[in-house]
Structure 1
C-alpha cells in the first residue's frame, strides 16, 4: 500500500468530529492509503474544525442558513475540489446532500451510519433497534447515492444490545466501533484501484458481459476470448509483466499506426506492451487514480468486435467510435 499514491480525502462534519479524528490519526500511520486534505463543515462553530486546525489540516466552514441546498452544496463542492480531494468522507455531516451533489461524487463519497443497513436508515437508529428487540446494533460504511443511506454497503461491525441498554448506552459503544471501522473501510476502498484482484474482477465483469465470451488463461495470465476451442482472444490481463509497473488490460487496435498515436497522445493511459505490441495490441493502464471505466469498456467491446463473427457482433449495440 505504501508504494501507491495516497488518496486525498475531504471530510465533511457538523459536530465534534470523533470519526474525523479517527480517520485523521489512522491516516498518519505508516503505510496509510489516504491523507486528509480538508475538513469542511456547515457549522462554523463545529468542534471538529478546531481539532483540524490544531492538527494543521485546512478547513472550510459555511453555514447553510439562508442558503438553498443547491447553493450550499455547490460551495462545499468547490471547496472540496480546490483542496484537490479525490474522495469525500462524511463523518457526522448532518446536512442532507442534494441529488446533484450526490451524483457528482457517486463512487467517490462514503458515509458512516449507526445501524446495520439496510436496517434503520435515517435518524433514531438505536432506539429503533432496541424497540424492535434486536440482539445487535452496529455501524455501516456505505457509498453515498441520491437515496438516503441506500448506497452499496462496504463494511459493517456488529455491536451486541444488552438487556439494560438505552439508546445512549448503545450509542456510546457503537461510536467506539465506528472509530475502528471507518478508517479500515476507507483505506481498503481508496486503495482497491491498485489491487490486481479487484481490477481483474472489474475487467472480467465487463468482458464477460459481451455475448459469447469466456474467461481463460494465456501464458499463465488471465485472458478473455470467444467461447469454444477455436474462439479468438480479444483481451489479456497483465499484472506488472515484463518489468513494467502497470496493471493493465490489453486490447486490439487497428495496427501499429493507431497504437503509436494512442501512446503518444496519452502515455499515462496507453502503452505498447511487450510481445503483444508487435501485433498491434495496446495496454490500457488500470492502476491509476483517474481510470475512465467507460473507456475500458469501449476498448473491450471494440476489441471483441474485431474477432466476433458478424452474426454475434450484430447482437451488441455499438458505441460511438469518436468517444475515445
Structure 2
C-alpha cells in the first residue's frame, strides 16, 4: 500500500469532525494518518480526545497576538509534525492570507451549508428562513475569501416542517461526520486517480493556442492547428499498448534528447512502445509526485515543435518585448 498522507487537524472546541477523521484513520485501508491535532484554545475538549487516542497535540492561545503572529506559530507546529495537509474542523479563526497561501491546495474545511449558499454563520436558520427544502454541508478547499474555495463534495439534508436551527444542525452534523473523512480520503489520493490526472492534462493542453482534443487509438490526444490539418503534440496514456503506467506522451527534439531524458531520470521517463521510435517520450503521472509546472513546460515544448509557423513566429516576436 502507498505511504499514507499525513494530516494535521485544527480545532477550537469539542472537535467532533476531528473525531470522525481520527476514527476513520484507524481503518487499515484509510489513505491518511492524523499526525497532529492543534488548537488556538488550550482548553479545547477535542485535545483531550486526541491525546487519549495517542495523537500529538499542540495548543497556543491567540489572545494578545496579531493574526499573522499566531498563524505563524500554528504553521510552524504543523510543519514540525510532518503534516502534508491541514483539515479545519471547527477552527474558529479567520486565517491570514499568508497562512492560506502556504497551504494552497493542501488545506480543506467543512461548512454547514450547500455552498455557495449561506457563507458565514447562522447557516441553519438562514436555510429555514429562506424556505429551502434541503440544507446540508460542503467540504471545500480553503482560499483567502471566507467559505469561497472550490467545493470538493456536498451532502444534502432534508429540512423537516417542524425543524428549528438546533434540530437541523444535529442531522447536518451526522452528514458532516460521514462526508468529511470520505472527501479527505479521496482528495489526498487524487494524484493516483486517472480521471483527476486527465483533467489536469486537459486543462494545460487546451490552454495552449489553437489546440483541440481528439481521441487516437482509444486515448485522449491534443492537436494544434485546424480540426482537419492539426498535428498531435500530446497523448494521455493509461494502460495503453500494454504499458501499465499512467503517462503523458509528448514529442522531444529526437532520439538523442529522448535517451538523455531517460538516462537522467529513468523512474520518471520511458520510451513508449508505439511512439518511442519517433522520438516521443512518456512522462509518468502515477508516482504521486508530479511536478505540474514541468508537465506544462513539456506540453508547451511539444506544442512548439508541431504548431504552425504563424503561431510560433508570433510567440518569438512577443518574447522580444
Shared fold, TM over 0.5: yes
CA distance in 1, matches of 2:161, 2:75: 44
CA distance in 2, matches of 1:159, 1:101: 32
Kindly tell me the number of residue pairs found equivalent between the two proteins: 318
Asked whether the 8 Å contact 1:161–1:170 carries over to 2, the reply is yes
Asked whether the 8 Å contact 1:221–1:236 carries over to 2, the reply is yes
CA drift at 1:317: 8.0
Asked whether the 8 Å contact 2:241–2:274 carries over to 1, the reply is no
* TM-score computed with the length of structure 1 as normaliser: 0.89
Asked whether the 8 Å contact 1:263–1:270 carries over to 2, the reply is yes
Map of 1:235 onto structure 2: 234
Q: Equivalent residues in 2 for 1:88-237 (5 A)?
A: 88-226=86-224, 227-237=226-236
Asked whether the 8 Å contact 2:13–2:90 carries over to 1, the reply is yes
CA pair 243-26 structure 1, distance change in 2 beyond 3 A: farther
CA distance in 2, matches of 1:74, 1:288: 31
CA distance in 2, matches of 1:205, 1:223: 12
CA drift at 1:65: 1.7
Asked whether the 8 Å contact 2:110–2:138 carries over to 1, the reply is yes
Map of 2:47 onto structure 1: 49
CA drift at 1:203: 0.8
CA distance in 2, matches of 1:264, 1:97: 45
Asked whether the 8 Å contact 1:109–1:143 carries over to 2, the reply is yes
CA pair 130-269 structure 1, distance change in 2 beyond 3 A: same
CA pair 126-319 structure 1, distance change in 2 beyond 3 A: farther
CA distance in 1, matches of 2:193, 2:300: 23
* SS across alignment from 1:306: helix
CA drift at 1:93: 0.8
CA distance in 1, matches of 2:36, 2:318: 39
CA pair 125-300 structure 1, distance change in 2 beyond 3 A: same
Map of 1:312 onto structure 2: 311
CA drift at 1:232: 2.2
Say what the alpha-carbon RMSD is for the aligned residues: 2.3
CA drift at 1:9: 1.5
Asked whether the 8 Å contact 1:4–1:194 carries over to 2, the reply is no
CA distance in 1, matches of 2:316, 2:207: 12
- CA offset digits 1:159-218 (Å, max 9, x no partner): 222233222222111111110111111122222211112211221122122222222233
- CA offset digits 1:210-255 (Å, max 9, x no partner): 2222222333322222344443221111224466553111112223
CA distance in 2, matches of 1:56, 1:133: 45
CA distance in 1, matches of 2:40, 2:155: 28
CA distance in 2, matches of 1:318, 1:63: 56
